[in-house]
Structure 1
Protein backbone atom coordinates (compact mmCIF):
# COMPACT_ATOMS: atom_id res chain seq x y z
CA UNK A 1 0.00 0.00 0.00
CA UNK A 2 1.41 3.35 -1.04
CA UNK A 3 1.97 6.23 1.36
CA UNK A 4 -0.86 8.29 -0.14
CA UNK A 5 -3.30 5.37 0.20
CA UNK A 6 -2.35 4.88 3.84
CA UNK A 7 -2.81 8.59 4.45
CA UNK A 8 -6.25 8.56 2.82
CA UNK A 9 -7.24 5.52 4.85
CA UNK A 10 -6.11 7.21 8.07
CA UNK A 11 -8.08 10.35 7.26
CA UNK A 12 -11.16 8.25 6.42
CA UNK A 13 -10.90 6.38 9.72
CA UNK A 14 -10.52 9.63 11.67
CA UNK A 15 -13.55 11.18 9.97
CA UNK A 16 -15.53 7.98 10.57
CA UNK A 17 -14.82 7.86 14.30
CA UNK A 18 -15.23 11.62 14.80
CA UNK A 19 -18.56 11.54 12.93
CA UNK A 20 -19.84 8.58 14.94
CA UNK A 21 -18.73 10.20 18.19
CA UNK A 22 -20.60 13.40 17.36
CA UNK A 23 -23.73 11.47 16.40
CA UNK A 24 -23.48 9.44 19.60
CA UNK A 25 -23.15 12.61 21.70
CA UNK A 26 -26.22 14.10 20.01
CA UNK A 27 -28.29 11.03 20.88
CA UNK A 28 -27.01 10.76 24.44
CA UNK A 29 -27.14 14.50 25.22
CA UNK A 30 -30.73 14.42 26.62
CA UNK A 31 -29.68 11.67 29.04
CA UNK A 32 -26.58 13.63 30.09
CA UNK A 33 -28.68 16.77 30.60
CA UNK A 34 -31.20 14.84 32.69
CA UNK A 35 -28.46 13.47 34.97
CA UNK A 36 -26.85 16.91 35.30
CA UNK A 37 -30.21 18.55 36.06
CA UNK A 38 -30.89 16.01 38.81
CA UNK A 39 -27.92 17.45 40.74
CA UNK A 40 -28.90 21.11 40.28
CA UNK A 41 -30.98 23.40 42.51
CA UNK A 42 -34.43 24.11 41.09
CA UNK A 43 -33.61 27.63 39.87
CA UNK A 44 -30.51 26.47 38.03
CA UNK A 45 -32.06 23.64 35.97
CA UNK A 46 -33.10 25.73 32.97
CA UNK A 47 -30.28 28.28 33.16
CA UNK A 48 -27.64 28.33 30.42
CA UNK A 49 -29.87 26.03 28.40
CA UNK A 50 -28.20 27.15 25.15
CA UNK A 51 -24.70 26.68 26.50
CA UNK A 52 -22.45 23.73 27.19
CA UNK A 53 -22.60 24.87 30.83
CA UNK A 54 -26.09 23.36 31.07
CA UNK A 55 -24.42 19.94 31.32
CA UNK A 56 -22.34 20.99 34.36
CA UNK A 57 -24.03 21.66 37.73
CA UNK A 58 -22.76 24.97 39.10
CA UNK A 59 -24.11 24.33 42.61
CA UNK A 60 -24.01 20.57 43.11
CA UNK A 61 -26.74 19.17 45.37
CA UNK A 62 -28.30 15.80 46.22
CA UNK A 63 -31.47 17.33 47.67
CA UNK A 64 -33.47 16.21 44.62
CA UNK A 65 -32.64 12.57 45.35
CA UNK A 66 -33.44 13.03 49.03
CA UNK A 67 -36.85 14.40 48.02
CA UNK A 68 -37.48 11.33 45.84
CA UNK A 69 -36.68 8.95 48.69
CA UNK A 70 -38.76 11.00 51.14
CA UNK A 71 -41.85 11.11 48.91
CA UNK A 72 -41.76 7.54 47.60
CA UNK A 73 -41.67 4.13 49.22
CA UNK A 74 -38.78 2.99 47.04
CA UNK A 75 -38.45 -0.59 48.41
CA UNK A 76 -42.17 -1.33 47.88
CA UNK A 77 -42.13 0.22 44.40
CA UNK A 78 -39.13 -1.90 43.38
CA UNK A 79 -40.74 -5.06 44.81
CA UNK A 80 -43.92 -4.35 42.83
CA UNK A 81 -42.06 -3.63 39.61
CA UNK A 82 -39.63 -6.53 39.75
CA UNK A 83 -42.40 -8.96 40.75
CA UNK A 84 -44.41 -7.80 37.74
CA UNK A 85 -41.40 -8.16 35.44
CA UNK A 86 -40.39 -11.56 36.88
CA UNK A 87 -43.82 -13.09 36.23
CA UNK A 88 -43.96 -11.71 32.69
CA UNK A 89 -40.43 -12.91 31.93
CA UNK A 90 -41.11 -16.39 33.32
CA UNK A 91 -44.20 -16.80 31.18
CA UNK A 92 -42.83 -15.29 27.99
CA UNK A 93 -39.48 -17.08 28.11
CA UNK A 94 -40.97 -20.47 28.96
CA UNK A 95 -44.36 -20.61 27.25
CA UNK A 96 -43.47 -18.21 24.43
CA UNK A 97 -40.38 -20.22 23.54
CA UNK A 98 -42.30 -23.50 23.66
CA UNK A 99 -44.98 -22.03 21.39
CA UNK A 100 -42.32 -20.80 18.98
CA UNK A 101 -40.63 -24.20 18.99
CA UNK A 102 -43.91 -26.00 18.32
CA UNK A 103 -44.70 -23.73 15.38
CA UNK A 104 -41.21 -24.14 13.95
CA UNK A 105 -40.55 -27.85 14.39
CA UNK A 106 -43.64 -29.83 15.31
CA UNK A 107 -46.05 -31.08 12.65
CA UNK A 108 -49.70 -30.72 13.60
CA UNK A 109 -52.97 -29.74 12.00
CA UNK A 110 -53.64 -26.02 11.96
CA UNK A 111 -50.02 -24.99 12.46
CA UNK A 112 -50.09 -22.65 9.45
CA UNK A 113 -53.29 -21.00 10.66
CA UNK A 114 -51.87 -20.47 14.14
CA UNK A 115 -48.71 -18.91 12.70
CA UNK A 116 -50.84 -16.60 10.56
CA UNK A 117 -52.81 -15.52 13.62
CA UNK A 118 -49.60 -14.84 15.57
CA UNK A 119 -48.21 -12.69 12.75
CA UNK A 120 -51.54 -10.85 12.35
CA UNK A 121 -51.77 -10.10 16.07
CA UNK A 122 -48.28 -8.60 16.02
CA UNK A 123 -49.70 -5.64 14.10
CA UNK A 124 -52.50 -4.96 16.60
CA UNK A 125 -51.74 -1.98 18.87
CA UNK A 126 -51.97 -2.72 22.57
CA UNK A 127 -54.33 0.24 23.00
CA UNK A 128 -56.98 -1.67 21.02
CA UNK A 129 -57.30 -4.37 23.68
CA UNK A 130 -56.64 -2.51 26.94
CA UNK A 131 -60.28 -1.72 27.67
CA UNK A 132 -61.61 -5.26 26.95
CA UNK A 133 -58.68 -6.63 28.95
CA UNK A 134 -59.51 -4.38 31.89
CA UNK A 135 -63.17 -5.43 31.79
CA UNK A 136 -62.10 -9.07 31.82
CA UNK A 137 -59.77 -8.52 34.80
CA UNK A 138 -62.57 -6.69 36.65
CA UNK A 139 -65.03 -9.56 36.09
CA UNK A 140 -62.67 -12.10 37.62
CA UNK A 141 -61.69 -9.80 40.51
CA UNK A 142 -58.09 -9.17 39.50
CA UNK A 143 -58.13 -5.36 39.56
CA UNK A 144 -55.38 -3.94 41.79
CA UNK A 145 -53.67 -7.34 42.08
CA UNK A 146 -50.28 -8.60 40.98
CA UNK A 147 -51.82 -11.34 38.87
CA UNK A 148 -54.05 -8.84 37.10
CA UNK A 149 -51.02 -6.70 36.39
CA UNK A 150 -48.76 -9.47 35.08
CA UNK A 151 -50.70 -12.50 33.82
CA UNK A 152 -52.15 -10.86 30.65
CA UNK A 153 -48.61 -10.20 29.41
CA UNK A 154 -47.00 -13.55 30.20
CA UNK A 155 -46.90 -14.25 26.46
CA UNK A 156 -46.81 -11.96 23.45
CA UNK A 157 -46.90 -12.63 19.74
CA UNK A 158 -43.68 -10.81 18.91
CA UNK A 159 -41.69 -13.01 21.30
CA UNK A 160 -43.33 -16.14 19.90
CA UNK A 161 -42.38 -15.08 16.38
CA UNK A 162 -38.80 -14.34 17.43
CA UNK A 163 -38.48 -17.82 18.94
CA UNK A 164 -40.15 -19.32 15.88
CA UNK A 165 -37.70 -17.57 13.52
CA UNK A 166 -34.73 -18.70 15.58
CA UNK A 167 -35.83 -22.33 15.94
CA UNK A 168 -36.37 -22.64 12.20
CA UNK A 169 -32.59 -22.63 11.76
CA UNK A 170 -32.00 -25.49 14.17
CA UNK A 171 -31.20 -28.62 12.12
CA UNK A 172 -33.93 -31.22 11.97
CA UNK A 173 -31.19 -33.84 12.29
CA UNK A 174 -30.61 -32.73 15.88
CA UNK A 175 -34.25 -33.29 16.77
CA UNK A 176 -34.33 -36.60 14.93
CA UNK A 177 -31.22 -37.75 16.81
CA UNK A 178 -32.86 -36.86 20.11
CA UNK A 179 -35.97 -38.83 19.09
CA UNK A 180 -33.83 -41.86 18.23
CA UNK A 181 -32.32 -41.62 21.72
CA UNK A 182 -35.83 -41.90 23.14
CA UNK A 183 -36.54 -38.24 23.87
CA UNK A 184 -40.09 -36.98 23.52
CA UNK A 185 -40.89 -33.43 22.33
CA UNK A 186 -40.66 -31.90 25.82
CA UNK A 187 -37.39 -33.59 26.70
CA UNK A 188 -35.96 -32.77 23.27
CA UNK A 189 -36.85 -29.14 23.76
CA UNK A 190 -35.27 -28.80 27.20
CA UNK A 191 -32.18 -30.96 26.67
CA UNK A 192 -31.30 -30.52 23.00
CA UNK A 193 -32.83 -27.26 21.77
CA UNK A 194 -32.82 -24.96 24.78
CA UNK A 195 -29.01 -24.93 25.27
CA UNK A 196 -28.60 -23.63 21.70
CA UNK A 197 -30.97 -20.69 22.12
CA UNK A 198 -29.18 -18.43 24.61
CA UNK A 199 -29.00 -15.44 22.28
CA UNK A 200 -32.70 -15.32 21.41
CA UNK A 201 -33.59 -15.84 25.07
CA UNK A 202 -31.37 -12.90 25.99
CA UNK A 203 -33.01 -10.78 23.29
CA UNK A 204 -36.54 -11.53 24.48
CA UNK A 205 -35.41 -10.97 28.07
CA UNK A 206 -34.14 -7.48 27.24
CA UNK A 207 -37.19 -6.52 25.17
CA UNK A 208 -39.61 -7.75 27.83
CA UNK A 209 -37.68 -6.14 30.68
CA UNK A 210 -37.53 -2.74 28.98
CA UNK A 211 -41.18 -2.89 27.87
CA UNK A 212 -42.51 -3.81 31.33
CA UNK A 213 -40.16 -1.42 33.17
CA UNK A 214 -41.38 1.44 30.96
CA UNK A 215 -45.02 0.33 31.01
CA UNK A 216 -47.36 3.05 32.23
CA UNK A 217 -50.81 2.66 30.67
CA UNK A 218 -51.67 -0.87 31.87
CA UNK A 219 -50.43 -0.39 35.47
CA UNK A 220 -52.30 2.93 35.50
CA UNK A 221 -55.54 1.18 34.52
CA UNK A 222 -55.30 -1.98 36.60
CA UNK A 223 -53.87 -0.63 39.88
CA UNK A 224 -55.95 1.60 42.13
CA UNK A 225 -53.79 1.93 45.23
CA UNK A 226 -50.33 3.23 46.05
CA UNK A 227 -49.39 -0.15 47.50
CA UNK A 228 -49.33 -1.67 43.98
CA UNK A 229 -47.58 1.27 42.31
CA UNK A 230 -44.82 0.50 39.78
CA UNK A 231 -41.83 2.64 38.82
CA UNK A 232 -43.46 4.61 36.02
CA UNK A 233 -46.56 5.34 38.11
CA UNK A 234 -44.30 6.54 40.91
CA UNK A 235 -42.46 8.89 38.56
CA UNK A 236 -45.78 10.24 37.30
CA UNK A 237 -46.76 11.37 40.79
CA UNK A 238 -44.12 14.11 40.60
CA UNK A 239 -45.95 15.62 37.63
CA UNK A 240 -49.35 15.63 39.33
CA UNK A 241 -48.37 17.28 42.61
CA UNK A 242 -48.15 21.07 42.85
CA UNK A 243 -45.75 22.77 42.93
CA UNK A 244 -43.87 20.76 40.32
CA UNK A 245 -40.21 20.30 41.24
CA UNK A 246 -38.29 19.55 38.08
CA UNK A 247 -35.16 18.65 39.99
CA UNK A 248 -36.99 15.83 41.77
CA UNK A 249 -38.49 14.73 38.44
CA UNK A 250 -35.03 14.53 36.88
CA UNK A 251 -33.73 12.60 39.88
CA UNK A 252 -36.64 10.14 39.68
CA UNK A 253 -36.12 9.69 35.93
CA UNK A 254 -32.40 9.15 36.43
CA UNK A 255 -33.04 6.45 39.02
CA UNK A 256 -35.63 4.83 36.74
CA UNK A 257 -33.07 4.71 33.89
CA UNK A 258 -30.36 2.89 35.83
CA UNK A 259 -31.71 -0.70 35.49
CA UNK A 260 -32.15 -0.33 31.73
CA UNK A 261 -28.61 1.01 31.33
CA UNK A 262 -27.26 -1.92 33.35
CA UNK A 263 -29.23 -4.40 31.24
CA UNK A 264 -27.95 -2.81 28.03
CA UNK A 265 -24.30 -2.68 29.14
CA UNK A 266 -24.13 -6.32 30.18
CA UNK A 267 -26.40 -7.87 27.53
CA UNK A 268 -25.95 -5.77 24.40
CA UNK A 269 -23.81 -8.47 22.76
CA UNK A 270 -26.53 -11.10 23.16
CA UNK A 271 -29.21 -8.65 22.06
CA UNK A 272 -27.47 -7.90 18.76
CA UNK A 273 -26.74 -11.58 18.14
CA UNK A 274 -30.31 -12.55 18.96
CA UNK A 275 -31.84 -9.97 16.61
CA UNK A 276 -29.53 -11.09 13.80
CA UNK A 277 -30.03 -14.81 14.32
CA UNK A 278 -33.81 -14.62 14.68
CA UNK A 279 -34.18 -12.99 11.29
CA UNK A 280 -36.07 -9.91 12.56
CA UNK A 281 -35.44 -7.04 10.21
CA UNK A 282 -36.14 -3.36 10.74
Structure 2
Protein backbone atom coordinates (compact mmCIF):
# COMPACT_ATOMS: atom_id res chain seq x y z
CA UNK A 1 0.00 0.00 0.00
CA UNK A 2 2.82 2.35 0.87
CA UNK A 3 4.46 1.66 -2.49
CA UNK A 4 1.17 2.40 -4.31
CA UNK A 5 0.79 5.70 -2.40
CA UNK A 6 4.34 6.71 -3.33
CA UNK A 7 3.71 5.83 -6.99
CA UNK A 8 0.46 7.83 -7.04
CA UNK A 9 2.16 10.82 -5.47
CA UNK A 10 4.98 10.62 -8.01
CA UNK A 11 2.46 10.39 -10.86
CA UNK A 12 0.57 13.45 -9.60
CA UNK A 13 3.84 15.36 -9.24
CA UNK A 14 4.89 14.39 -12.77
CA UNK A 15 1.50 15.41 -14.17
CA UNK A 16 1.63 18.74 -12.37
CA UNK A 17 5.10 19.59 -13.69
CA UNK A 18 4.09 18.46 -17.18
CA UNK A 19 1.08 20.80 -17.20
CA UNK A 20 3.15 23.68 -15.82
CA UNK A 21 5.81 23.08 -18.46
CA UNK A 22 3.21 23.18 -21.24
CA UNK A 23 1.78 26.42 -19.87
CA UNK A 24 5.27 27.92 -19.69
CA UNK A 25 5.88 26.94 -23.33
CA UNK A 26 2.70 28.73 -24.39
CA UNK A 27 3.94 31.93 -22.74
CA UNK A 28 7.42 31.48 -24.20
CA UNK A 29 6.25 31.01 -27.80
CA UNK A 30 6.01 34.78 -28.56
CA UNK A 31 9.48 35.38 -27.09
CA UNK A 32 10.96 32.49 -29.05
CA UNK A 33 9.28 33.72 -32.24
CA UNK A 34 10.59 37.24 -31.66
CA UNK A 35 14.20 36.15 -31.06
CA UNK A 36 14.26 33.64 -33.91
CA UNK A 37 12.62 36.09 -36.34
CA UNK A 38 15.21 38.75 -35.49
CA UNK A 39 17.85 36.46 -37.02
CA UNK A 40 16.10 35.97 -40.37
CA UNK A 41 15.77 38.22 -43.44
CA UNK A 42 12.31 39.59 -44.18
CA UNK A 43 11.45 37.23 -47.04
CA UNK A 44 12.33 34.12 -45.04
CA UNK A 45 10.64 35.50 -41.91
CA UNK A 46 7.33 35.99 -43.74
CA UNK A 47 7.59 32.62 -45.50
CA UNK A 48 8.18 30.74 -42.23
CA UNK A 49 5.28 32.29 -40.29
CA UNK A 50 2.86 29.66 -41.62
CA UNK A 51 4.76 26.69 -40.18
CA UNK A 52 6.73 25.56 -37.16
CA UNK A 53 9.87 26.87 -38.85
CA UNK A 54 8.87 30.26 -37.40
CA UNK A 55 10.03 29.00 -33.99
CA UNK A 56 13.24 27.36 -35.21
CA UNK A 57 16.56 29.06 -36.07
CA UNK A 58 16.86 27.48 -39.52
CA UNK A 59 17.69 28.93 -42.92
CA UNK A 60 19.65 32.11 -43.50
CA UNK A 61 20.54 33.02 -39.89
CA UNK A 62 22.64 36.11 -39.11
CA UNK A 63 22.88 39.24 -36.96
CA UNK A 64 22.35 41.58 -39.91
CA UNK A 65 19.01 42.80 -38.57
CA UNK A 66 20.64 43.99 -35.36
CA UNK A 67 23.30 45.97 -37.19
CA UNK A 68 20.64 47.43 -39.50
CA UNK A 69 18.45 48.35 -36.52
CA UNK A 70 21.30 50.32 -34.95
CA UNK A 71 21.82 52.11 -38.27
CA UNK A 72 18.13 52.98 -38.59
CA UNK A 73 17.63 54.39 -35.07
CA UNK A 74 19.90 55.64 -32.24
CA UNK A 75 19.04 52.65 -30.07
CA UNK A 76 21.83 53.21 -27.56
CA UNK A 77 20.67 56.76 -26.87
CA UNK A 78 17.03 55.73 -26.60
CA UNK A 79 17.86 52.91 -24.19
CA UNK A 80 19.98 55.17 -21.98
CA UNK A 81 17.12 57.66 -21.86
CA UNK A 82 14.63 54.98 -20.86
CA UNK A 83 16.87 53.55 -18.16
CA UNK A 84 17.67 57.01 -16.77
CA UNK A 85 14.01 58.11 -16.67
CA UNK A 86 12.92 54.80 -15.15
CA UNK A 87 15.60 54.68 -12.43
CA UNK A 88 15.19 58.31 -11.36
CA UNK A 89 11.40 58.04 -11.30
CA UNK A 90 11.44 54.81 -9.28
CA UNK A 91 13.90 56.16 -6.69
CA UNK A 92 12.00 59.41 -6.20
CA UNK A 93 8.64 57.64 -6.20
CA UNK A 94 9.65 55.15 -3.51
CA UNK A 95 11.14 57.89 -1.35
CA UNK A 96 8.13 60.24 -1.56
CA UNK A 97 5.36 57.63 -1.56
CA UNK A 98 6.83 55.79 1.44
CA UNK A 99 6.96 59.05 3.41
CA UNK A 100 3.33 59.78 2.46
CA UNK A 101 2.27 56.26 3.48
CA UNK A 102 4.15 56.63 6.78
CA UNK A 103 2.19 59.79 7.58
CA UNK A 104 -1.11 58.12 6.70
CA UNK A 105 -0.46 55.12 8.95
CA UNK A 106 1.51 56.36 11.97
CA UNK A 107 0.77 60.09 12.35
CA UNK A 108 -2.64 61.30 13.50
CA UNK A 109 -3.92 64.32 11.60
CA UNK A 110 -7.35 65.46 10.50
CA UNK A 111 -8.56 64.34 7.11
CA UNK A 112 -5.96 61.66 6.45
CA UNK A 113 -8.59 59.00 5.75
CA UNK A 114 -10.46 61.24 3.33
CA UNK A 115 -7.28 62.27 1.52
CA UNK A 116 -6.13 58.66 1.22
CA UNK A 117 -9.52 57.70 -0.26
CA UNK A 118 -9.24 60.50 -2.82
CA UNK A 119 -5.73 59.38 -3.76
CA UNK A 120 -6.83 55.76 -4.21
CA UNK A 121 -9.81 56.90 -6.29
CA UNK A 122 -7.39 58.27 -8.90
CA UNK A 123 -6.53 54.67 -9.81
CA UNK A 124 -9.72 54.47 -11.89
CA UNK A 125 -8.91 57.58 -13.93
CA UNK A 126 -7.31 56.63 -17.29
CA UNK A 127 -4.28 58.61 -18.36
CA UNK A 128 -5.88 59.58 -21.68
CA UNK A 129 -8.39 61.78 -19.85
CA UNK A 130 -5.69 63.94 -18.27
CA UNK A 131 -3.09 63.91 -21.06
CA UNK A 132 -4.17 67.21 -22.66
CA UNK A 133 -4.61 69.15 -19.37
CA UNK A 134 -1.26 67.84 -18.19
CA UNK A 135 0.33 68.91 -21.48
CA UNK A 136 -1.02 72.44 -21.01
CA UNK A 137 0.39 72.55 -17.47
CA UNK A 138 3.92 71.35 -18.29
CA UNK A 139 4.18 73.52 -21.40
CA UNK A 140 3.82 76.65 -19.22
CA UNK A 141 5.68 75.66 -16.07
CA UNK A 142 8.87 77.68 -15.37
CA UNK A 143 12.22 76.06 -14.62
CA UNK A 144 15.19 77.81 -13.10
CA UNK A 145 18.32 76.55 -14.86
CA UNK A 146 21.92 77.62 -15.21
CA UNK A 147 21.07 80.05 -17.99
CA UNK A 148 18.05 81.61 -16.29
CA UNK A 149 14.36 80.88 -16.25
CA UNK A 150 13.06 78.59 -19.00
CA UNK A 151 9.33 78.53 -19.72
CA UNK A 152 7.98 75.13 -20.60
CA UNK A 153 9.21 71.64 -19.86
CA UNK A 154 8.86 70.15 -23.33
CA UNK A 155 11.79 68.13 -24.74
CA UNK A 156 13.33 67.51 -21.29
CA UNK A 157 13.86 64.62 -18.92
CA UNK A 158 11.88 66.28 -16.13
CA UNK A 159 8.66 66.29 -18.16
CA UNK A 160 8.96 62.49 -18.35
CA UNK A 161 9.79 62.08 -14.66
CA UNK A 162 7.96 64.59 -12.47
CA UNK A 163 4.34 63.74 -13.44
CA UNK A 164 4.87 60.07 -12.50
CA UNK A 165 6.77 60.36 -9.22
CA UNK A 166 3.69 60.10 -7.00
CA UNK A 167 1.13 57.43 -7.80
CA UNK A 168 -1.71 55.88 -5.82
CA UNK A 169 -0.65 52.25 -6.25
CA UNK A 170 2.78 52.76 -4.68
CA UNK A 171 1.26 54.66 -1.75
CA UNK A 172 -1.32 51.90 -1.31
CA UNK A 173 1.37 49.20 -1.22
CA UNK A 174 3.31 51.01 1.49
CA UNK A 175 0.17 51.80 3.50
CA UNK A 176 -0.92 48.16 3.54
CA UNK A 177 2.54 46.97 4.54
CA UNK A 178 3.05 49.61 7.24
CA UNK A 179 -0.27 48.66 8.84
CA UNK A 180 1.11 45.19 9.60
CA UNK A 181 4.24 46.44 11.35
CA UNK A 182 4.19 46.12 15.16
CA UNK A 183 3.05 49.37 16.77
CA UNK A 184 5.24 48.55 19.79
CA UNK A 185 8.37 49.27 17.76
CA UNK A 186 7.10 52.73 16.82
CA UNK A 187 5.98 53.53 20.37
CA UNK A 188 9.31 52.35 21.83
CA UNK A 189 11.25 54.54 19.41
CA UNK A 190 9.10 57.54 20.25
CA UNK A 191 9.56 56.95 23.98
CA UNK A 192 13.31 56.90 23.44
CA UNK A 193 13.05 60.39 21.96
CA UNK A 194 13.25 59.57 18.26
CA UNK A 195 11.66 62.04 15.86
CA UNK A 196 9.16 60.90 13.26
CA UNK A 197 11.81 61.06 10.55
CA UNK A 198 14.18 58.95 12.66
CA UNK A 199 11.40 56.40 13.21
CA UNK A 200 10.81 56.32 9.46
CA UNK A 201 14.49 56.00 8.54
CA UNK A 202 15.81 53.75 11.32
CA UNK A 203 12.83 51.61 12.31
CA UNK A 204 10.25 51.37 9.53
CA UNK A 205 12.32 51.35 6.34
CA UNK A 206 14.86 48.70 7.46
CA UNK A 207 11.87 46.36 7.96
CA UNK A 208 10.29 47.17 4.60
CA UNK A 209 12.44 45.10 2.28
CA UNK A 210 9.59 43.08 0.68
CA UNK A 211 7.40 46.10 -0.08
CA UNK A 212 10.39 48.06 -1.37
CA UNK A 213 11.22 45.28 -3.83
CA UNK A 214 7.57 44.89 -4.86
CA UNK A 215 7.08 48.62 -5.39
CA UNK A 216 10.34 48.87 -7.33
CA UNK A 217 9.38 46.00 -9.65
CA UNK A 218 5.87 47.27 -10.37
CA UNK A 219 6.93 50.89 -10.80
CA UNK A 220 9.90 50.04 -13.01
CA UNK A 221 7.93 47.77 -15.33
CA UNK A 222 5.15 50.35 -15.58
CA UNK A 223 7.56 53.20 -16.36
CA UNK A 224 9.63 51.21 -18.87
CA UNK A 225 6.70 49.64 -20.71
CA UNK A 226 4.52 52.75 -20.91
CA UNK A 227 7.10 55.21 -22.22
CA UNK A 228 5.29 55.77 -25.48
CA UNK A 229 2.16 57.94 -25.46
CA UNK A 230 3.33 60.66 -23.07
CA UNK A 231 6.89 60.99 -24.49
CA UNK A 232 5.40 60.99 -27.98
CA UNK A 233 3.38 64.06 -26.99
CA UNK A 234 5.99 66.05 -25.06
CA UNK A 235 9.34 65.01 -26.61
CA UNK A 236 10.20 65.75 -30.23
CA UNK A 237 14.00 65.65 -30.23
CA UNK A 238 15.98 62.41 -30.34
CA UNK A 239 18.23 63.44 -27.46
CA UNK A 240 15.46 62.84 -24.90
CA UNK A 241 13.29 60.18 -26.54
CA UNK A 242 12.84 56.82 -24.74
CA UNK A 243 13.15 53.39 -26.29
CA UNK A 244 9.44 52.84 -26.97
CA UNK A 245 9.14 55.92 -29.20
CA UNK A 246 11.85 54.42 -31.39
CA UNK A 247 9.37 51.83 -32.69
CA UNK A 248 8.11 54.44 -35.14
CA UNK A 249 11.45 54.40 -36.95
CA UNK A 250 10.72 50.89 -38.24
CA UNK A 251 7.35 51.78 -39.80
CA UNK A 252 8.59 54.60 -42.00
CA UNK A 253 8.09 54.09 -45.77
CA UNK A 254 8.39 50.28 -45.64
CA UNK A 255 8.14 47.98 -42.62
CA UNK A 256 11.44 46.26 -41.84
CA UNK A 257 10.07 43.22 -40.02
CA UNK A 258 13.40 41.61 -39.24
CA UNK A 259 14.85 44.86 -37.91
CA UNK A 260 11.66 45.44 -35.92
CA UNK A 261 12.00 42.01 -34.28
CA UNK A 262 15.62 42.79 -33.47
CA UNK A 263 14.55 46.09 -31.92
CA UNK A 264 11.84 44.38 -29.84
CA UNK A 265 14.39 41.83 -28.64
CA UNK A 266 16.72 44.61 -27.53
CA UNK A 267 13.81 46.25 -25.71
CA UNK A 268 12.89 43.05 -23.89
CA UNK A 269 16.38 42.17 -22.64
CA UNK A 270 16.62 44.96 -19.99
CA UNK A 271 13.11 44.14 -18.74
CA UNK A 272 13.86 40.43 -18.31
CA UNK A 273 17.24 41.11 -16.71
CA UNK A 274 15.71 43.61 -14.30
CA UNK A 275 12.89 41.24 -13.37
CA UNK A 276 15.26 38.35 -12.65
CA UNK A 277 17.52 40.61 -10.59
CA UNK A 278 14.63 42.07 -8.58
CA UNK A 279 13.13 38.62 -8.07
CA UNK A 280 16.32 37.53 -6.31
CA UNK A 281 16.35 40.77 -4.32
CA UNK A 282 12.71 40.23 -3.37
CA UNK A 283 13.39 36.70 -2.07
CA UNK A 284 16.48 37.90 -0.19
CA UNK A 285 14.56 40.76 1.40
CA UNK A 286 11.84 38.40 2.64
CA UNK A 287 14.45 36.05 4.10
CA UNK A 288 16.32 38.87 5.84
CA UNK A 289 13.36 40.45 7.62
CA UNK A 290 11.78 39.10 10.77
CA UNK A 291 8.47 40.88 10.31
CA UNK A 292 5.76 39.38 8.17
CA UNK A 293 4.46 41.79 5.51
TM-score (norm 2): 0.89
* Structure 1 residue 269 displacement after superposition: 5.0
Aligned to 1:77: 78
Aligned to 1:203: 214
Structure 1 residue 250 and structure 2 residue 261: aligned? yes
SS of equivalent to 1:139: coil
Aligned to 1:16: 16
Aligned to 2:103: 102
Alignment check: 8 A CA contact 1:88 1:154 kept: yes
Deviation digits for residues 10-37 of structure 1 (CA, Å, limit 9, x no counterpart): 1111111001100110011001100000
SS of equivalent to 2:40: coil
Alignment check: 8 A CA contact 2:209 2:282 kept: no
**In structure 2, what is the Cα distance between the partners aligned to 1:194 and 1:224?**
39
* Structure 1 residue 186 displacement after superposition: 0.6
Alignment check: 8 A CA contact 1:238 1:244 kept: yes
Instruction: Name which of 217, 225, 241 aligns with 1:214.
Output: 225
SS of equivalent to 2:125: coil
Where in structure 1 are there 5+ consecutive unaligned residues? none
Alignment check: 8 A CA contact 1:88 1:155 kept: no
Deviation digits for residues 145-191 of structure 1 (CA, Å, limit 9, x no counterpart): 11111101111011000010011011111111111221111111001
Structure 1 residue 129 and structure 2 residue 130: aligned? yes
Alignment check: 8 A CA contact 2:72 2:249 kept: no
* Structure 1 residue 136 displacement after superposition: 0.5
**In structure 1, what is the Cα distance between the partners aligned to 2:230 and 2:250?**
19
Instruction: Name which of 179, 185, 192 aligns with 2:196.
Output: 185
* Structure 1 residue 93 displacement after superposition: 0.7
**Greater mean deviation of Cα atoms: 263-272 or 142-151:** 263-272
**In structure 2, what is the Cα distance between the partners aligned to 1:152 and 1:232?**
18
Aligned to 1:194: 205
Deviation digits for residues 10-65 of structure 1 (CA, Å, limit 9, x no counterpart): 11111110011001100110011000000111111133334332212221110100
SS of equivalent to 2:130: helix
Alignment check: 8 A CA contact 1:87 1:151 kept: no
**In structure 2, what is the Cα distance between the partners aligned to 1:132 and 1:118?**
18
Structure 1 residue 265 and structure 2 residue 276: aligned? yes
Deviation digits for residues 204-225 of structure 1 (CA, Å, limit 9, x no counterpart): 1111111111121111111111
* Structure 1 residue 227 displacement after superposition: 1.8
Aligned to 2:63: 62
**In structure 2, what is the Cα distance between the partners aligned to 1:2 and 1:132?**
70
TM-score (norm 1): 0.92
**Greater mean deviation of Cα atoms: 155-164 or 39-48:** 39-48
Q: CA RMSD in A?
A: 1.7
SS of equivalent to 2:47: coil
Aligned to 1:162: 173
Q: Which runs of at least 4 in structure 1 moved beyond 6 Å after TM superposition? A: none
Aligned to 2:154: 143
